[in-house]
Structure 1
Amino acid sequence: MRVLRRDDLPLAVRISGPDDTRPPVLLVHGMAGDHTTWRRFAAALRRSGRRVVSVDLRGHGRSGHADSYRLDDFRDDLRFVIDDLGVERFDLLGHSLGAHTALRLAIAEPGRVRRLILEEVPPMPRNDADVDEGIVVSAGLGERLRGVRDVVTNPYPFLRFDRSLPDQVGTQFQVPEPDWWDALPTVTAPTLIISGGRRSFLPPQHLQTLSEALPAGRFRVIDAGHSVHRDRPAEFETAATDFLHAK
């Protein structure tokens, strides 16, 4: 692991795999996890000859805790990592909170993302009707995240994360952000959105709507619940690697 410092915030990064002429693959974990959630998938990428960069988001794993957990803070941390590593162009894959962070980065840096995979990505509400409907989760994301161990993908219960984080993040998903939706057409990279189907607390129809708002969006359902890469790893690996390696 390498630890990069963004001002006073340490950000843990694992870089693995061979030097490759292709862009590296940046992996971003979900709420309460860390880079180890990608262990199996990262190994598959390395076997295919890809270089892999896995991060611990602020407040997770070996990265530092912070006072602020704004969604744009996570995005800016990712941008700092790729800038510090001198990575100009990359493939990007995230799960849940990490997928939302990845999409925010792709909006901010559209020319740098070659291909984008978003597993179980929570969209922002467009308006109060979306909030009332539960576009993110039927019972409200903040309420669900307060029981974070029931919904996240952390298969390693000894991992540490900042317990103030779920409330801060969940609150933001209860505020309409139409500008976020208006910015989606700037993401020109081919994008695969993977839904965990009806077993997930994220309604699949809203993830499909999100894929349709992206210029090169594709949508796939793997009926596994919220943690597709953990609970259906072989199917996830096939879908993701086929998409990343397509010409």
Structure 2
Amino acid sequence: MTLSGPLDGTVPVILVHGMGGDRSTWRPLARELRGRGRTVASFDLRGHGLTGRSDSYLLDDFRDDLGAVVDHLGAHKVDLVGHSLGAHTALRYAMAQPDRVRRMVLEEVPPMPRDDHDLAEAIAPSATLGERIRGVGALVRNPGPFLRFDRALGGPVTDAFAVVEPDWWCALSRVTAPTLVVSGGQRSFLPPRHLRDVAYALPAGDFMTIDAGHSVHRDRPREFVGATVAHLDV
């Protein structure tokens, strides 16, 4: 885990990366938040980066790992920023521990399927051809996340999103944190209407589109950082 910024009792911001990435993906945002006086923590999810491989990659495992980081910080409340699988992880944590989350930004958060129609759209953390092409530059600049990523987790995560879970949608009502849901627009594999539905199902949800594809924070960093900073009220 990487922790930086002043430990002065302010609400820490925890950054949760997506599948196939690691904590280094957040450097521009972390730098901006630190410059504004925030304590920032980022970590590698299990099976990623410098975190060891696991024999279990359930969605709730990732949630519990995030919970361990929150507990380690010893903060009563935290702000969460997550991308893709990391956003889904943050949302699961906020469902389970609503009193521990002050505000959230969820970038390209994949929802659980509500019914067979959703299931047919195969909404799961993945990458389209265009996304892969846009990611080549990032891979060349920083091959570490790709090289250290445990390919064994792809199957369990994808399989988890192939199960209809209407109760997951009902549980969104438990999230009390004001939450900004960021869609990458039509270039993303995640249909924006589903992310809009997530935002509007949250008691204090808001929705915005930054037309960048699935990795908004990587491909449109200035807009993403600006929206995140504004939402976290930094």
Instruction: Detail structure 1 runs of 4+ shifted over 3 Å in the superposition.
Output: 144-147, 151-155
Kept in 2: contact 1:99–1:121 (CA 8 A)? yes
Question: What secondary structure sits across from 2:143 in the alignment?
Answer: coil
1:94 aligned to 2:76? no
CA distances 1:202-247 after superposition (whole Å, capped 9, x unpaired): 000110011010000000000011111111111111100011017x
* Alpha-carbon distance in 2 for matches of 1:65, 1:27: 20
Residue identity matched to 2:5: G
**Once the two structures are superposed, what CA deviation does each residue of 1:54-109 show, in whole Å capped at 9, x if it has no partner?**
01000000001001100000000110111122122100010000000000000000
Runs of 5+ unmatched residues, structure 2? none
Residues 195, 224 of structure 1: alpha-carbon distance in 2 compared, 3 angstrom cutoff:
same
Q: Does 1:104 align with 2:92?
A: yes
**In the alignment, what sits opposite 1:170?**
158
> Residue 245 of structure 1: SS of its match in structure 2?
coil
- Give yes or no for the alignment of 1:68 onto 2:56: yes
Query: What does residue 5 of structure 1 align with?
Result: none
Count of residues paired in the alignment: 227
Secondary structure of 1:164's match? helix
Distance in 2 between residues matched to 1:14 and 1:152, nearest whole Å: 27
Note the C-alpha offset of 1:150. 2.5
Question: Separation in 2 of the partners of 1:146 and 1:120?
Answer: 14
Gaps of 5+ in 1: 1-12
Q: Which residue of 1 aligns with 2:170?
A: 182
Deviation at 1:179, TM superposition (A): 1.1
SS in 2 for 1:193: strand
State the 1:135 CA deviation.
Answer: 6.0
Larger relative helix fraction: 2
- Aligned twin of 1:7: none
The DSSP-based 3-state class of the residue aligned with 1:69 is coil
Q: Normalised by the size of structure 2, how large is the TM-score?
A: 0.92
Residues 1:245 and 1:151: Cα distance change in structure 2 (over 3 Å): farther
Instruction: Tell me the distance in 2 between the aligned counterparts of 1:54 and 1:48.
Output: 17
- Counterpart of 1:123 in structure 2 is 111
Following superposition, the deviation at residue 18 of structure 1 comes to: 1.5
- Give 1:146 deviation, angstroms: 11
User: Alpha carbons of 1:164 and 1:86: their partners in 2 closer, same or farther (altered >3 Å)?
Assistant: same
Q: Flag the 1:31–1:151 CA change in 2: closer, same or farther, 3 A.
A: farther
Distance 1:152 1:36 in 2: 17
Identity between Structure 1 and Structure 2 (%):
58
User: Normalising to structure 1: TM-score of the pair?
Assistant: 0.87
Q: Secondary structure of 1:43's match?
A: helix
CA drift of 1:145 comes to 6.1
Distance 1:16 1:35, change over 3 A: same
Partner of 1:55: 43
Question: What SS is found at the alignment partner of 1:117?
Answer: strand
Q: What SS does structure 1 have at the residue aligned with 2:232?
A: helix
CA-based RMSD of the aligned residues comes to 1.9
Residues 38-53 of structure 1: pairs in structure 2 closer than 5 A:
38-53=26-41
